[in-house]
């Protein structure tokens, strides 16, 4: 115990190191904030030999990190764009009609290099071959599409 009193800053540094290593197992950023508090305790130990002041500074720093820094880090790490996989990733993309889409008969469109069964949106809308369409939704193996009006086509009318 005497060694501990003579080497307080090393003890705080060791505690910070152990807490940081334990954080690698939990990945919750809780122990990392405690390690930050231990580093503040180490810095205080370099300035003063009073163990009570060191514990108060380490505790206050850990609580501050847990309350102010951790929520922000958690939000940044867990926030971000949603990953859309499969056919749902085609919604919003454009394609070309390869077989006409009639009012009561689905046609085919080429979307991203793949041929899809397609129906017009709104239902009953006929779409001619070669028309550029946008995917509104995917239901099973059928793409619901609507014609895209481009400025060049609008100028020709």
The tens digit of pLDDT for each residue in 79-107 reads: 877 777 788 888 989 999 999 988 788 99
Beta bridge partners of 131: none
Q: What is the pLDDT of residues 112-149, one digit of tens each?
A: 889 999 998 877 778 889 999 999 999 888 999 999 87
Run of H or E including 115: strand 114-120
What is the pTM for the complete model shown? 0.54
Go through the domains of the chain in sequence order and give each one's CATH number: 2-78 (no CATH), 86-149 (2.40.50.140)
Closest CA to 92 of 123, 133, 149: 133
């Amino acid at each position: 115990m005497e060694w501990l009193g003579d080497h307080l800053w090393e003890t705080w540094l060791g505690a910070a190191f152990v807490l940081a290593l334990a954080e690698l197992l939990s990945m919750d950023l809780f122990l990392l904030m405690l390690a930050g508090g231990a580093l503040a305790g180490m810095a205080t130990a370099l300035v003063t030999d009073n163990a009570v002041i060191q514990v108060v500074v380490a505790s206050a720093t850990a609580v501050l990190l847990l309350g102010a820094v951790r929520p922000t880090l958690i939000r940044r790490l867990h926030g971000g764009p949603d990953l859309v996989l499969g056919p749902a990733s085609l919604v919003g993309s454009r394609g070309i009609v390869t077989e006409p889409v009639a009012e009561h008969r689905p046609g085919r469109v080429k979307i991203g290099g793949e041929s899809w069964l397609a129906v017009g949106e709104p239902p009953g809308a006929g779409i001619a071959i070669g028309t550029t369409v946008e995917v509104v939704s995917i239901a099973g193996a059928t793409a619901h599409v609507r014609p895209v009006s481009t400025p060049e086509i609008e100028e020709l009318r």
